[in-house]
Copies of this chain bind each other. A is one copy, B any other.
Amino acid sequence: MSHVDVLKLHELKATPQRLCVLDVLEKYGHATLEDIEKYTKVKFSTLSLSTIYRNINEMLKKGILSEVKLANKKDHYEITKANHAHLVCIQCGKIEDFTINTQELLQKAETLTCNKIYNITLSFNTICKECLSAK
């Protein structure tokens, strides 16, 4: 689905400002507020910071975007997608999506806790191949 359609589906107008934020997130996968400000300014030099804040909050509320919160890192944002894990480089900070089946883990947790588990948040700290070969 196009970004225009996603916005309309959530009753938000498809303004160039919003589309620009979504394009940046699409392109970079995960970005902090500063990243978004920096990258959007390239294509859209008049985009104001308050508009970025407002739109991110709105799109979070609608579920179009999700927060990615990692220890010792600024919050990142991503376009909401199916449940997935993150592979985080502890050296350069790069974040990659990583599809892994967590069904087994979820069931294990349900058994151990006797609770229904609705959702898992999972990330792996690693050193990426670029950082490894760069030393």
Please report A residues at the B interface, Cβ cutoff 8 Å: 66-72, 75, 85, 87, 90, 98, 100, 105-106, 108-109, 112-113, 115-129
Contacts and interface: CB of A to CB of B under 8 A. Distances in A.
Contact of A71 (B66, B87, B90): B66
12 contacts: A67-B72, A69-B71, A69-B75, A87-B109, A105-B105, A113-B124, A115-B124, A115-B128, A116-B127, A117-B124, A120-B122, A122-B122
Nearest to A125: B119
A95 to B, nearest CB: 12
A60 to B, nearest CB: 8
Contacts of A121: 70-71, 121-125
A118 B109 contact: no
B125 A120 contact: yes
Contacts of A100: 108-109, 112
A65 to B, nearest CB: 11
Given A105-B105, A115-B126, A117-B125, 6 more contacts: A70-B121, A87-B113, A98-B109, A115-B124, A116-B126, A119-B125
